[in-house]
């Protein structure tokens, strides 16, 4: 057989799986250096059934196979808050249709300011267009999104999923605006916000208060003023409710009061039950704090994905890491005492190879098949997203895994259209409870979680 004949019999797709980047595609990085200020220590529970405390994180959708304690019944005040939010967050139908470019441009150029009753959304700077395009895919004129400034978008309503939870991919955080205050002096701004703050606390036992700024070139310099506003509000927090740290809110629940400093003189306030919040980090900036010598910053990306999902691999569970090199995701899995099969043609960090719970398969992820079903499939490959989705779909059809956590690199244009196509491929393959989010540690990419039906 000639060399040409042998080459024609090769399987389509990359011959050396995970680490390759297609020609003409910008090389995505696996994480970024983070500002150490204001990091939150994250607690992630195990997915093993006997850990009953391993329920989902407040605000996270619960996979059908997960176990956890029964949720306490909400207080009357909590029920009133949810009813008061319902007109602005009623379910609307998502329509898979081409984007109306004219309507999109009008939303991006809108000069309508933020108003009480609007939903305020935060995102990474530069993703405003993506979020607006996503919101425009719902029923025509249902949400009326518009750009406010860098990293800020407003809409008249909010989309909900089948479980009545906020369902957006390109937003980090979102809340219903109940009060807007304007003042030059910090003390006056705090005094103007105080009545709305007290209204949120009526009948509540515990709460967390977050004052944050947009994650933008113009917004970040206001961080010092936001800290001063937080301190000034402490003088107005006379209430029977106990203010608790964000980490305790994740464990025990409560009401989340959010204040976004829109500019030097303007702040918007809203409150949300913690189990309905899009994120429990200020502005959705989940700065992950990891201890140890991890091989790459991609470990933070996976840690954030587990925190968002509300569950993670437990001791003794078997995980397959596709696109493992240099080993950031495998390192985090090993830290959780899981067994890891790392698949990548490139080499891993030498320290990882010394761990007896890790096996390195130095080959293509497209050619790999596990010898027996595994608990978790994890994938972070710099390759064409649809080809990766089709490969992952094979795992669901053959029931090689229970859970999926994957990171998809998005094209520069038509990102929302790509999300729809990814969801369609994976759903048709047998994955359910598909959730997608552009997390804080993501760049031109999104994180997707699902489980096999």
List, by residue number, the catalytic residues.
Answer: 409
* β-bridge mates for residue 153, sequence order: 121, 147
**Structure tokens that stand for 134 in this block:** 């996503």
* CA–CA distance, 113 with 125 (Å, rounded to integer): 19
Q: Parallel, antiparallel, or unpaired: how do β-strands 374-380 and 401-409 relate?
A: parallel
Q: How many residues does the chain have?
A: 453
| DSSP 8-state secondary structure symbol assigned to residue 325 | T
**Nearby residues of 409 by Cβ (< 8 Å), 6 or more positions away:** 25, 28, 382, 383, 385, 444, 445
DSSP annotation string for 223-285:
HHHHHHHHHHHGGG--SSSEE--HHHHHHH--EEEEEEE-SSSEEEEEEEEGGG-S-SSGGG-
Q: Which of 351, 360, 310, 318 is nearest to 336 (CA)?
A: 318
* CA–CA distance, 210 with 246 (Å, rounded to integer): 8
| DSSP 8-state secondary structure symbol assigned to residue 33 | -
* CA–CA distance, 167 with 60 (Å, rounded to integer): 11
* CA–CA distance, 146 with 136 (Å, rounded to integer): 10
In angstroms, how far is CA 3 from the centroid of its own chain?
A: 47
């Amino acid at each position: 057989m000639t060399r040409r004949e042998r080459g024609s019999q090769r399987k389509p797709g990359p011959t050396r799986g995970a680490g390759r980047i297609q020609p003409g595609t910008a090389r995505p990085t696996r994480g970024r250096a983070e500002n150490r200020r204001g990091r939150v220590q994250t607690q992630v529970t195990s997915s093993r059934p006997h850990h009953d405390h391993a329920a989902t994180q407040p605000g996270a959708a619960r996979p059908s196979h997960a176990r956890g304690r029964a949720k306490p019944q909400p207080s009357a005040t909590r029920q009133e808050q949810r009813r008061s939010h319902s007109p602005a967050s009623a379910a609307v139908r998502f329509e898979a249709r081409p984007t109306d470019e004219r309507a999109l441009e009008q939303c991006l150029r809108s000069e309508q300011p933020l108003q009480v009753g609007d939903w305020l959304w935060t995102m990474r700077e530069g993703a405003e267009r993506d979020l607006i395009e996503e919101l425009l895919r719902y029923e025509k004129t249902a949400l009326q999104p518009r750009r406010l400034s860098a990293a800020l978008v407003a809409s008249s309503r909010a989309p909900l999923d089948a479980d009545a939870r906020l369902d957006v991919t390109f937003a980090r955080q979102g809340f219903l605006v109940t009060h807007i205050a304007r003042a030059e002096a910090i003390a006056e701004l705090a005094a103007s916000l105080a009545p709305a703050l007290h209204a949120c606390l009526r009948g509540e036992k515990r709460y967390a208060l977050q004052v944050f700024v947009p994650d933008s070139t113009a917004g970040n310099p206001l961080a010092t003023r936001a800290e001063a506003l937080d301190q000034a509000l402490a003088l107005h927090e006379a209430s029977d409710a106990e203010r608790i740290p964000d980490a305790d809110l994740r464990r025990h629940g409560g009401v989340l009061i959010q204040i976004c400093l829109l500019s030097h003189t303007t702040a918007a306030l809203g409150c949300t039950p913690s189990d309905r919040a899009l994120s429990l980090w200020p502005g959705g900036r989940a700065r992950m704090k990891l201890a140890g010598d991890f091989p790459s910053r991609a470990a933070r990306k996976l840690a954030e994905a587990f925190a968002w999902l509300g569950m993670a691999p437990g001791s003794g569970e078997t995980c397959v890491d596709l696109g493992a090199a240099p080993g950031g995701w495998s390192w985090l899995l090993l830290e959780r005492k899981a067994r890891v099969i790392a698949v990548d043609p490139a080499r891993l960090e030498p320290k990882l190879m010394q761990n007896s719970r890790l096996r390195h398969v130095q080959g293509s992820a497209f050619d790999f098949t596990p010898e027996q079903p595994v608990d978790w499939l994890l994938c972070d490959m710099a390759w064409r997203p649809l080809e990766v989705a089709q490969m992952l779909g094979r795992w669901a059809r053959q029931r090689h895994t229970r859970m999926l956590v994957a990171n998809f690199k998005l094209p520069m244009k038509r990102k929302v259209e790509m999300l729809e196509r990814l969801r369609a491929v994976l759903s048709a393959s047998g994955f359910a409870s598909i959730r997608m989010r552009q997390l804080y540690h993501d760049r031109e990419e999104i994180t997707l979680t699902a489980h096999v039906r």
